[in-house]
Amino acid sequence: MQPTLDLMSPETRANPYPLYAELRRTGIRQVEPGGLWAVSRYEDVAAVMKDPRRFSSEGLARGFLPPWIDRNPTAQSLVVKDPPAHTRLRGRVARAFGPAALNILEPKIRAIANELTHDLLRQAEAEVDFVEAFSLRLPVRVLGLLFGLEADPYPRLKGWADDLVSIPAGQHPPEEQARIRQSLVDMERCFEDIIEARRASPGDDLVSELIRPADDGSVLTHEELISFLFSLLPAGVETTVYLLANTMYVLSEHPEERARVLADPRLIPRLIEEVLRYEPPAHSSLRLATEETEVGGVRIPSGATVVVLLASALRDERQYPQADRFDLTRGGQSHMVFGHGVHYCLGAMLARLEARLGLEALFPRLRDFSLAPGPIAWSRSLIARGPLALPLRLFPA
Ligand code: HEM
């Protein structure tokens, strides 16, 4: 009998990479929680993500709708649909994330990044929680822009995003389950209000764009619109919060690279790509095997839930020589972190833009920074990984 491996154990949450290495060595096998089939090698991860017929995103839908939840629109959203329903919906929403939309957003995001940097540096040399003061605020404010909300709108958005991300494969005591159910109700009410307001007075935001009929006259149903907005919380907030926080964490552990990027902000895009590979904010996704099938020489039964370990693929030696080394000279973009195939992240360009503008505002104003000693509490999610708090000491330039 193989020993039990648990993706959610405290040791794995603190450092999942040894377990991923073990899984890549042994190949596809079942793990905890819930006997998920773990796919860990680059080649196998790519094969599963590329094949929505054999590996349905219904696996993700089930993750978002455990028996203790009656209704969660995320479980009907774009990211959990398979072709052809997915193809139609994606065609309809993709334009809202294209270059034209990003051009409108860029100056607004830069202004937010400058404002947050200014506020952050007022606390310089004292210990400051970078997540609370910066990395959380930037994506939440950007989501506010997408929703067309005024100023810093909903501190609750982050709490809701946390709740949503924690649902798949999370173990929640009854009082937490009740809180999450209430969050789902509150979110839906909030999104209904936003949609109504944008219908009454459309702007240049994402919600207004999604309400407008497409060139062929087709419109999104109310349910499609609501569920898409739901999916943007885990997809667009959590991941970007952790991208920024993981960047500061990794740099605090790598003084030479820290000195290089602080001295030369032109290295920021390269830094972002290597952080996306080395300490990725998205660790996995879920799929459902629609038939008995074989991947990497292992038979997977029909109806099995598969956990696709993107973060493990990004440390696969066969794909990345010296994969456990953080290396700013590595070329190329870490596409797998944004998924692969039909569900490739719609927000990939936006996420990179947010991270770049955030760091471009911050780095020229810093001489150095350091991480306060002590253990870090990492997110308790199977899907997104990053520190819940990151106590830093900042030294202004
Ligand atoms: C560093 C930040 C981000 C990472 C690592 C990331 C990662 C991912 C991954 C892995 C998927 C594919 C999931 C699957 O196949 O099951 C995905 C899909 C998606 N992401 Fe992102 N994401 C990020 C930022 C964003 C942002 C900022 C937005 C929008 C505001 C966004 C919106 C979406 C949407 C709508 C999908 C579904 C696409 C589809 O199903 O066709 N993401 N993302």
Pocket of ligand 1 (CB under 6 A): 57, 60, 78-79, 90, 231-232, 235-236, 239-240, 243, 281-282, 285, 310, 337-339, 343, 345-347, 350-351
27, with CB counted inside 10 A (0-12, 13-18, 19+), is middle
Ligand 1 centroid distance, CA of 342 (Å): 11
Identify the residue whose tokens are 């956990």.
307
- pLDDT tens digits, the chain, 397 residues: what are they? 566 899 999 999 999 999 999 999 999 999 999 899 999 999 999 999 999 999 999 888 888 999 999 999 999 999 999 999 999 999 989 988 999 999 999 999 999 999 999 999 998 778 999 999 999 999 999 999 998 887 665 567 878 888 888 887 677 899 999 999 999 999 999 999 999 999 999 988 999 999 998 888 888 999 999 999 999 988 888 899 999 999 999 999 999 999 999 999 999 999 999 999 999 999 999 999 999 999 999 999 999 999 999 999 999 999 999 999 999 999 777 779 999 999 999 999 999 999 999 999 999 999 999 999 989 999 888 888 999 999 999 999 9
Q: Is the backbone of residue 162 left (phi > 0), alpha (psi -120 to 50) or beta?
A: alpha
Nearby residues of 35 by Cβ (< 8 Å), 6 or more positions away:
none
Domain 18-372+388-396, CATH: 1.10.630.10
Ligand 1 centroid distance, CA of 35 (Å): 25
Closest of 180, 118, 108, 179 to residue 147, by C-alpha: 108
User: What letter would DSSP give residue 334?
Assistant: -
* CB-CB contact of 272 with 348 (8 Å): no
CA 57 to chain centre: 17
The pLDDT value recorded for residue 151 is 60
- In ligand 1, which atom is closest to the CA atom of 355? 1
Structure tokens at 248: 């500061």
The pLDDT value recorded for residue 238 is 87
Structure tokens at 354: 């947010």
* Helix H or strand E encompassing 288: strand 284-289
Ligand 1 centroid distance, CA of 77 (Å): 12
- In ligand 1, which atom is closest to the CA atom of 344? 12
What single-letter amino acid sits at 285?
S
Neighbours of 204 (CB within 10 A): 11
Q: Whose CA is closest to atom 19 on ligand 1?
A: 345
* CB-CB contact of 372 with 127 (8 Å): yes
CA–CA gap between residue 80 and residue 75 (Å, rounded): 6
CA–CA gap between residue 255 and residue 326 (Å, rounded): 12
The pLDDT value recorded for residue 165 is 82
The pLDDT value recorded for residue 2 is 67
Mutate to test the pocket of ligand 1, among 333, 345, 352, 385 (most ligand atoms within 8 A of CB): 345
DSSP string covering 52-90, please?
A: TTTEETHHHHHHHS-TT-S--GGGGSGGGPPTTHHHHHH
CA–CA gap between residue 73 and residue 69 (Å, rounded): 11
User: What letter would DSSP give residue 213?
Assistant: P
CA–CA gap between residue 15 and residue 324 (Å, rounded): 13
CA–CA gap between residue 246 and residue 278 (Å, rounded): 9
CA–CA gap between residue 249 and residue 164 (Å, rounded): 24
Closest of 240, 283, 266 to residue 328, by C-alpha: 266
